[in-house]
Amino acid sequence: MNANHWAGPRRRDRLGLRLAAVAVAGATVATLAPTAAVAAGVGVPAAVAEAERPGPAVDLGPELRTLVERGGATAALGEVRENGRRPWRDAAGVVDLDSGRAVRTDSRFRIGSVTKTFVSTVVLQLADEGRLRLDDPVERYLPGVVPNGGAISIRQLLSHTSGLFDYLEDQRFLYHDEASLRAYLAEGRWTDFRPEDLVSVGVGHAPYFAPGQGWYYSNTNYILTGMIIRKVTGRTWQREVERRIVEPLHLDSTTFPNTSTRIPGPHAHGYIQLPEGPTDVTRLNPTVADAAGNGISTTADLDRFHAALFGGKLLTPARLAEMTTVVPAPTIAAHYGLGLIRYDLPCGEVWGHTGGIPGYNTILLGARDGSRQFALSFNLLEGAETDETGAAIDSLFLKAACGPDGTGKTGADRSQSPLKLLR
C-alpha cells in the first residue's frame, strides 16, 4: 500500500501502477475542466433536498464542489449522520461526462476496502456463536492453502499482522506503462478470478515478516477470510454478509456481487485519464477484489451500517471491544483493529475504513460511541489530480469529523490529516 499521504502521479510512477490506483505512467496530467453541470452540484429536486437536510450543523458542500471543480473529481457525494438524524447530505458533479447530468445524492458506488469491515463483522459474529475462534490457525479451516498456515491465526488475518504478501503487489496487477494499462482496460478488467487464484499469487511470494511480528496492509488476508467464512458456514461470504447485516439493517442499496460487472441503480461513472481524454472504467469484474473490496453501497447505507456496528446492534460489547483493539499501522499513520482503522485527530478518535477501486474512492468514519457517522464517495479522474486534490479531501475529512473549523476546537492548530485511502 502507498505510504505517503496523497500519492500524485509522479509518486505512483516510481511505485509502479497498481490495479487499485490505475493511472498512466508518464502521461500528461490534465485537470478536468468542469462543465456547468459539474459546478452546479446537487442532482435532486430542491424540495427533496430540503427534506433530507433539516438544518445542517456543518455544510461540506463547498468542499465537495472544490473537489470536483479544482481537484480532478467528476463527482463527489457525502452524508453526515448524528444520533440517527441526517443533518447534511449533498452531491456535486455529474453522472457521466457525456450527458453532463447532475449526480444524485442517493447514487451507488463501489466501496473498495470498506468491504473489509462487513466481512470482519461476520467473522466476529461467527466467533460469538462458537463456530470458530479468532486465534484458530488458518490451517484448521484451509489445510495446505497457506505455507506456515498453522502459525497464522484468523485474528492476524483480520488485523493485517499475518505477514502475508499482498497479491495486488504482484507484477501481474501492476501497470508500468500506457500499453499495459490499455491492455487492462481492453481485456484485463473483465477477467474472472477465483479466491484460490488470488491467494496462490499472494503465497507465491515470501512473506513480509513472521506472523505477528509486524503490520502490513495485505488484501490476501481478506481473500482468505472470505474462504474461511464459506468453509465454516457452507455459504459464500457475500451471502453471510447479506443475511447477517444487509437484510436485518435494510441496507437496500448495498450489494456484494460475484462476477457482475455493472453497478445497479443510479450511480456516477468512474474514469481513468488517458492522453486522448477520460476513459470510462465503471464496469469491471469485481472478482479481482472479492472479500477484500468488491462491495457496492450508498452514503446512507454506509452510515446506517456504521451506526449499527458501533451502536451495539451487530456485535456484543465484548466482540466490539476485540474489533477495536488496535495495533500500530505505521505505513498509514493510524492504528488498525479487526477490519477497522482508528485515526487520531485534533478533536479525538474516529473509526471506520477507507477504500478504493478503479474509478471510485470511499471514506466511512465516525465516533466510537456510535453518535456520529460520515460517508463520502468521490470519482477521482485518475491521472488528472491537481495540487488541490489532497487538500480538498483532507478538508472534507477533518471538517466532517471535527466540525466547521476542522479541529473541533476554536482557534486550534489544524494539523495535516493522516488519512490514507486504502485499496
Q: Which residues are catalytic?
A: 113
Look up residue 75 and give its amino acid: A
Task: Give the number of other CB atoms < 10 A from CB of residue 331.
Answer: 15
- Residues written for the chain: 423
Unique residue bearing C-alpha cell 451471502: 239
Cβ pair 401, 63 in contact under 8 A? no
